[in-house]
Amino acid sequence: MYICHCNALTDGDVHRALHGGAGRTAEVYRHAGCKAQCGGCARTVLCMLREFISARTAAEAMMAAGD
């Protein structure tokens, strides 16, 4: 599914950037070799980033607790 129509970024591209270490929205675009243009996708990218960080934090907490 396309997330950013200006740069033809898909949800897979965003996830690859997040798994590749992108921790800010600008880094997501940078990982994909582009940058935000109209900004229309910024909110969606930010939501995906927050969800990724939240899931990673929860997984790390479970691992630390020995679950």
- DSSP string for 1-36: -EEETTTTEEHHHHHHHHHTT--SHHHHHHHTT---
The nearest distance, CB 16 to ligand FES, in angstroms, is 16
Please say which residue, 12 or 39, places its beta carbon nearer to ligand FES.
Answer: 39
Please say which residue, 7 or 18, places its beta carbon nearer to ligand FES.
Answer: 7
Q: Which amino acid is at 60?
A: E
Q: Which of 32, 65, 64 is nearest to 48 (CA)?
A: 32
Please say which residue, 33 or 59, places its beta carbon nearer to ligand FES.
Answer: 33
Point out which residues bind ligand FES (CB under 6 A). Answer: 4-7, 36-41
